[in-house]
A and B are shown apart, each in its own frame.
Chain A
Amino acid sequence: MTATQETQTVRTEETAADRLDRISAAAYRIRHHALTMGEVQGQGYVGQALGAADMLAAVYADQLRFQADNPDWEGRDRFLLSTGHYAIGHYAALAEAGIIPVEELETYGSDDSRLPMSGMSTYTPGMEISGGSLGHGLTIAVGMALGLRHQGSAARVYNFLSDGELDEGSTWEAAMGAHHHQLGNLTAMVDINALQADGKTDTVLRTEPVTEKWEAFGWYTQRVDGNDAGALLAAFDNAAAQAAAVGRPSVILCDTKVGRGVPLLEHREKAHFMRIEEHEWQICREQLTAGYEGKASR
């Protein structure tokens, strides 16, 4: 029996509250890791990583089947990071999952590191694709889902994309293709932080109404608070029950807050590339921990 199967056996006896606590704890650690990496660089996509941490935690601590010591295991579920610059958050999740050592996170973005600023499959264990040129992830996910199903694999494909990637026509080519090919083994997660490189999404290129768009493309569509672990878990459970079995691709639209979990950053003017002063990193960590412990004790 694999380690993964053992974990799942334990999980069947887990209460809903325990499950939620497990995800919340993972999200806390992912955020903590992201701050550590951000401090090494002095800047970076920390705001996005904090915003997406609950999504990443729900995926890595609850949904994905993988073997930490064998990231290329054939039966693994695939998690495709389309937004390469979110790698800081993804590395944090890979460390949380035990796929890369926590100590290695300090090499983030440094010369000869396995953890480059933009995520690439050729550099990092557990990184399935080279993202970064936006609008690619969902097209690759369609091929992977087709290929896995064709070969009789029960593995699922998860594509993490940003609301900015909804600007790209290729995303919608892939959305059509997934529905046409009835890819019930495909789940897309869209991080809607309403922020793009040049400003707020609704001032750059209006993507709303996002829910109606995905519904019109034939996907089982849910829109949730992407910083609410309970809502995320419920959405995954719904998708598994409602969509996967009938061959319908599933999308979870996640409204998130840039900088989530660190009030100092939540209230700072939102920017694609957030500047954090040297003395602020410790404050950020303290605020994160205080918030998490406060919530945990309630």
Chain B
Amino acid sequence: MSTGTALTGTAPKLKTSAMIASFADPGQKTASAPFGHALVKAAQENDKIVGLTADLGKYTDMHIFAQAFPGRFFQMGMAEQLLFGAAAGLAETGLVPFASTYSVFAARRAYDFLCLDSAEPNLNVNIVGGLPGLTTGYGPSHQATEDMAIFRGMPNLTIVDPCDSVDIEQAVPQLAASDGPTYLRLLRGNVPTVLDEYGYTFELGKAKVLRGGNDVVFVSSGLMTMRALQAAKALAAHNVDVAVVHAPTIKPFDAETVLAELNTDRLAVTLENHSVVGGLFETVASAVVTAGLGKRVVPVALPDAFLDAGALPTLHERYGLSVQRIVAKVLAELG
């Protein structure tokens, strides 16, 4: 876990690690390349599944699929418009493509191709986006801090922000089985395994209450659910009882489950690995307003800004995604 030492100036500065830094804590249980293995498993049962990438197979765990099914893998080169246009074409012939690249390139560069070629005809094209939110220290060129904001406006598109290897393993076959286009915020490499301890199963379109609590309710998605659970444990030491609701499907959003939890006197906090603009917070806020709840909601999210380059623990601390920053924020809110 980040200790925030880089901010103090007294400890050696952390270095920006590889492009894709692991956000697993030291000693944490992880699974290797859960997406790649889940896609192989799904493909063994569904011969319509094919894989594509835009020169990022190794960096999106698509290489696992390519090795298992070389005849069902198509390398499209560093050409994201072609990647997603071709994915639509493959789907038009009845296949079920999973097409991977980094989230920045899918959301920013290829939007028009996803929107008109897959979403408008409602094709079963599955977008797999690496480096969602703040999961690399390489700066704004690679940090997809606004990918959900961009994609939420696209009709027909299902958006999934998984927490861990359990979510990913269970989501992949459901994404393949759902009719329209989907966007998966990929966690790759050694991905933490967290939700197995909560009797949890991923259901597309559903939010799940992972733990109850009397004082505070967290609504979280993506890797921030892991942080939410860790923060809930840390807050227990302060005699603060925290409930955690995991909402991995951002669109369509399970407002019913989330609003049932928010319609209490507890402090409500959303936690997301995404800009405060257009992601989970605004999804929850619009559900709250639409239902007329008049409930205050506190966001833990990335700022509406281009973020710094640097080491991931440093940046998570700086922008408020670390457990200690979450704990401090909650305690301040509770006064």
Contacts and interface: CB of A to CB of B under 8 A. Distances in A.
Interface of A: 78, 120-122, 128-130, 132-133, 135-136, 138-148, 150-151, 153, 169-170, 173-174, 176-177, 180-181
23 contacts: A130-B116, A132-B116, A136-B112, A139-B85, A139-B86, A139-B117, A141-B89, A142-B82, A142-B86, A143-B86, A143-B87, A143-B88, A147-B90, A147-B93, A153-B93, A170-B79, A170-B82, A173-B81, A173-B82, A174-B79, A174-B82, A176-B77, A180-B77
A147 B72 CA distance: 10
A124 B160 CA distance: 32
Closest 8 CB pairs of A and B: A143-B89, A139-B85, A147-B93, A143-B86, A173-B79, A170-B81, A144-B89, A173-B82
Contacts of B116: 130, 132-133, 136
A144 B81 contact: no
A148 B93 contact: yes
Given A121-B121, A133-B112, A139 B93 contact: no
A130 B116 CA distance: 7
Contacts of B82: 139, 142, 170, 173-174, 176-177
B79 A146 contact: no
B94 interface: yes
A157 to B, nearest CB: 8
Interface in B110-127: 112-113, 116-117, 120-121
A122 B120 contact: yes
B330 to A, nearest CB: 46
Interface residues of B, number: 28
Contacts of A176: 77, 79, 82
**Chain B CB within 10 Å — which of A120, A133, A139, A142 has the most?**
A139
A140 B95 contact: no
Contact of B92 (A128, A153, A174): A128
Given A122-B121, A150-B72, A177 B79 contact: yes
A153 B76 CA distance: 21
A244 to B, nearest CB: 18
Interface in B191-223: none
Contact of A130 (B71, B91, B95, B120): B120
A151 B71 CA distance: 11
